[in-house]
Structure 1
């Protein structure tokens, strides 16, 4: 009997080990395509590069910081409609087709920014069109498929898929600084547009796909079933409205600083060379946050993980709003806010799958993304307007330091994960 128990335990351990390895063995192409697609999409390129192009647009066209950052607000307004539509299209036609078409069109729109002629109207229209056609590059599409392929290590898989934003954040600033210095900002816009068009689109078509019935039957470890709430059922759940309401202030508090980071550090007296060295820390911290957050999400209650990590940037806001900023403390502030940014999208994707299931995942996540874009889209404009009025970013940063802990604490009311039959 003792030997039977030992053999049974050994077989269970071996099966568990096979299941763990099986998820990544079968799904590595999905993760690679998601990493490249998300890292080349609408959630990444504008967010990390607006601050780089802003001084050049202001110098050449005489636009104010508020007028330039309003481009992100236009993006927000377009996504209020485009994000839910992308989610519905993804449910109907599949994530692969929607994301590939969207990446190609988004790349073309970005390339068109290289031909700006000083017209603010054209600048805003371009961002509106880029946001509408680029909504399929958002995590709405890619995380739906990642959630299907991964179950036991879903949090870590989501973190790896979202690492593309951090990798781009590390590489883009020094590379764009070099391209702009040698070839001008127009060439830099064209180079950015080539990334989704010529790199991410072919990779998505070759490597990215939803699981089929044959995959389900042959899987060595379970695939996530398409169970859960429909979109209309989710809208009748109080948890849906709690998450939606929390995302607006949280995204505002987290998204205002990175696009204005160069200007914030410059106002504090740091020289351009130091700023170029420090700002890539956002991307490095984002990667660290995604991996650490994914590891924690697989092992602990997700709302508690969200509360702890999303409260961390309070220190960043206080440091950046103070006087006599040193490079070391500035680097710490940048790392902390990047760490939290690396978790937010992953947390929303994880909570959506856990509390609402996969039946209408993309449609539900698309609605959550609207809430995110409302806060994140208006934050850079608000920061720019405050800077224009007060000649200082400190009032905006201190406001965010208050918003973060209050909003993050709201996740603690979500309760247990429901079970779907």
Structure 2
């Protein structure tokens, strides 16, 4: 068993020569991850369902809660598929999994254009889409990044997951234009074909990850990285502290995003004004990933997580006021999205620093279950709350308190572990 000792956070203040070499060798892995994650299940449904919802409600008479239940369906598939794909990636590598999953996921998403008013068939389609799409989640792509970077791990993870923010910047306006010009069916087709025609060929070109190796480091160094096995991690109290904290945090952060257009409407923001505000989500998310990644390499990660993940409580207070002006709405959306930019990166970083890389994907997959459980069920709960009360004010204020309390739990994690290879 690999030995471990506790150590403090790295204090390097700039990219060292070895970190520069990591980026020189691993830029393809990062770019492939940007494309795969940005056009995968982590980004596309989250940023698009708020735009699809009014059109589906008008076409079929469905309520917002019924439509947002689709997010719960893909969450169920994430809960099952995430850990399975994570463990599978340890055996056959990331490349083989994602090059099959990306095109099938895209075609499945495009098939939602065939929806005919049956909620049962709508949910069954999402069930199949989610089962395949779980392989496009950061669980798989961050394995390649984590194994290729050490000195600049936080920044590399932040860069690799800017794809979600880029989709928010470019994908949402594109979808809004398609919906206005060609209708919701074409919207599903356009978004669904992007993983097929854009992500798949470029990931095939850029990602050269094989079993036990990474394009960013020599094979001999990466055949077996030290760290904990899954049973060892499950016996560690730190694993359960992270797991328990992630559920309410992901619920509080995940609920507002697909419902953001309705939240802004409740605050008095017109649809025209909202179209100028929501693209900020992508920009702020990218900034959160880059700034957060930079901070993770230099500052104790639990402190970074506590501060950045609790900050959206301020946004929720503004959202629930019912009297938003455009400047307040922009500030609130920016703070929320900045925090969304650090969430995946933080979990990936914590797994690497506290449990090592020996079974990184499998351990991350288990923690992702906790994250997905909160974030996936939240849109449905938020939607049904809106159906019942006519607004989101009450649930937003509850989430503000939950977010602060849960984020503080990370401070108990203590010093990083330093894993030593087996003798």
Q: Is the 8 A contact 2:78 2:372 kept in 1?
A: yes
Distance 1:306 1:218 in 2: 29
TM-score w.r.t. the length of structure 1 is 0.93
Q: Is the 8 A contact 1:149 1:211 kept in 2?
A: no
Distance 2:216 2:32 in 1: 23
Distance 1:218 1:138 in 2: 23
Distance 2:276 2:61 in 1: 27
Alignment-derived partner of residue 17 in structure 2: 18
Alignment-derived partner of residue 4 in structure 1: none
What secondary structure sits across from 2:357 in the alignment? Answer: coil
TM-score w.r.t. the length of structure 2 is 0.93
Alignment-derived partner of residue 9 in structure 2: none
1:17 is displaced (CA, Å) by 4.4
The answer to whether structure 1 residue 35 and structure 2 residue 21 are counterparts is no
Alignment-derived partner of residue 95 in structure 2: 96
1:181 to 1:152, Cα distance in 2 relative to 1, 3 A: same
Alignment-derived partner of residue 284 in structure 1: 283
Matches within 5 A, 1:280-359: 280-359=279-358
1:269 is displaced (CA, Å) by 2.1
Distance 1:213 1:42 in 2: 25
Alignment-derived partner of residue 202 in structure 1: 201
Distance 1:274 1:147 in 2: 40
Alignment-derived partner of residue 80 in structure 1: 79
Distance 1:19 1:363 in 2: 27
What secondary structure sits across from 1:284 in the alignment? Answer: helix
What secondary structure sits across from 1:419 in the alignment? Answer: strand
Query: 5+ unaligned residues in a row in structure 1: which ranges?
Result: 1-12
Per-residue CA deviation, residues 200-235 of structure 1 (Å, 9 max, x unaligned), is 111222211226888799759x76951101111111
1:352 to 1:217, Cα distance in 2 relative to 1, 3 A: closer
1:225 to 1:33, Cα distance in 2 relative to 1, 3 A: same
1:56 is displaced (CA, Å) by 0.2
Q: Is the 8 A contact 2:26 2:216 kept in 1?
A: no
1:214 to 1:254, Cα distance in 2 relative to 1, 3 A: closer
Matches within 5 A, 1:66-215: 66-210=65-209
Q: Is the 8 A contact 1:354 1:417 kept in 2?
A: yes
Task: Compare relative contact order (CA 8 Å, sep 6+) and give the higher one, 1 or 2.
Answer: 2
Per-residue CA deviation, residues 285-325 of structure 1 (Å, 9 max, x unaligned), is 00000000000000011101100110110110000000321
What secondary structure sits across from 2:100 in the alignment? Answer: helix
The answer to whether structure 1 residue 376 and structure 2 residue 375 are counterparts is yes
1:20 is displaced (CA, Å) by 2.6
What secondary structure sits across from 2:259 in the alignment? Answer: helix
**Segment drifting more, 340-349 vs 102-111:** 102-111
Matches within 5 A, 1:363-402: 363-402=362-401
What is the number of equivalent residue pairs in this alignment? Answer: 407
Q: Is the 8 A contact 1:148 1:224 kept in 2?
A: no
Distance 1:228 1:17 in 2: 24
Distance 2:388 2:289 in 1: 36
Q: Is the 8 A contact 1:50 1:69 kept in 2?
A: yes
Alignment-derived partner of residue 261 in structure 1: 260
Per-residue CA deviation, residues 148-184 of structure 1 (Å, 9 max, x unaligned), is 1111000000000000000100112221111111111
Per-residue CA deviation, residues 131-152 of structure 1 (Å, 9 max, x unaligned), is 1111110000110110111110
1:272 is displaced (CA, Å) by 1.2
Distance 2:214 2:72 in 1: 42
Distance 2:173 2:217 in 1: 46
What secondary structure sits across from 1:418 in the alignment? Answer: strand
Query: 5+ unaligned residues in a row in structure 2: which ranges?
Result: 1-11
**Segment drifting more, 26-35 vs 99-108:** 99-108
Q: Is the 8 A contact 2:93 2:211 kept in 1?
A: no
Distance 1:224 1:327 in 2: 53
